[in-house]
């Protein structure tokens, strides 16, 4: 066992470098995600990752998607219960910094690396590596695909647009937003306790225990 671990709300230990799927408890996931705010804490009012996941799962169920797709939607951010919700622009910035460092090393040492090999190294270090290990452990623990279904990826982007328009004072400013429509439903943010209970209720409906 590693001496680097996260103590969870219900007494498990999560080791970020070698996560054990058997140590992942659904109640911990629901607890952490309900206390984790979307958009790195900037929505007003408070809006949790747990609610984001529940609304996505329900939207896909209403669209008639298959049960595995709905389950994948509910759990697509479950790894954030252990590694946090890092904003996508920050992830890209970290990758770019690592890429810059690796290219500098390759040039200074005259190393023979292809562009593909460098990109593989970029994705296998830093937050990306920790996030990937966490998601793989979640996928194994709760029997969801390691690769997110396309319907889930699309729903995640449409939720991003919907949430930004409704919950962020600045709305959708700047570049980099997905070129697609959001959803037309109104979001009513839940307090963390309700988000936790709704997440567990939806998990039960998806046969996730």
Q: Does domain 6-86+148-205 have CATH number 3.40.50.300?
A: no
Confidence label for 31 from pLDDT (cuts 50, 70 and 90)? very high
User: What digits encode the pLDDT tens for the residues 127-142?
Assistant: 888 999 999 999 999 9
Looking at residues 14-28, what average pLDDT do you find?
A: 96
Name the average pLDDT for the chain. 92
- Which pair of tokens denotes residue 99? 């890429």
User: What digits encode the pLDDT tens for the residues 166-203?
Assistant: 999 877 666 667 778 999 999 999 999 999 999 999 99
CA dihedral (100, 104, 105, 107) positive or negative: positive
Minimal CA–CA distance to 35: which of 84, 2, 91?
A: 84
- Which pair of tokens denotes residue 49? 């990752």
Domain edges within the chain: 6-86+148-205
Looking at residues 108-122, what average pLDDT do you find?
A: 83
Burial class for 162, CB neighbours closer than 10 Å (0-12, 13-18, 19+): buried
Residue 107: predicted pLDDT: 85
Residue 32: predicted pLDDT: 98
Q: Are 199 and 209 in contact (CB under 8 A)?
A: no
């Amino acid at each position: 066992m590693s001496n680097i671990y996260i103590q969870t709300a219900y007494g498990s230990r999560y080791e970020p470098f070698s996560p054990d799927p058997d140590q992942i408890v659904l109640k911990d996931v629901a607890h952490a995600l309900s206390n984790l705010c979307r958009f790195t804490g900037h929505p007003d009012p408070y809006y949790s990752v747990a609610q984001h996941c529940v609304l996505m799962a329900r939207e896909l169920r209403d669209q008639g998607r298959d049960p595995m797709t709905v389950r994948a939607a509910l759990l697509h951010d479950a790894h954030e219960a252990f590694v946090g919700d890092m904003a996508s622009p920050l992830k890209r910035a970290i990758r770019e910094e690592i890429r810059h460092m690796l290219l500098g090393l390759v040039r200074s040492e005259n190393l023979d690396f292809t562009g593909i090999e460098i990109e593989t190294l970029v994705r296998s270090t830093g937050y990306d590596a920790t996030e990937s290990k966490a998601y793989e452990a979640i996928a194994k623990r709760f029997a969801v695909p390691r690769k997110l279904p396309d319907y889930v990826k699309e729903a995640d982007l449409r939720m991003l647009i919907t949430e930004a328009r409704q919950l962020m004072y600045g709305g959708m400013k700047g570049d980099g937003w997905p070129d697609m429509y959001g959803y037309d439903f109104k979001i009513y943010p839940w307090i963390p306790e309700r988000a936790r209970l709704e997440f567990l209720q939806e998990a039960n409906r998806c046969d996730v225990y």
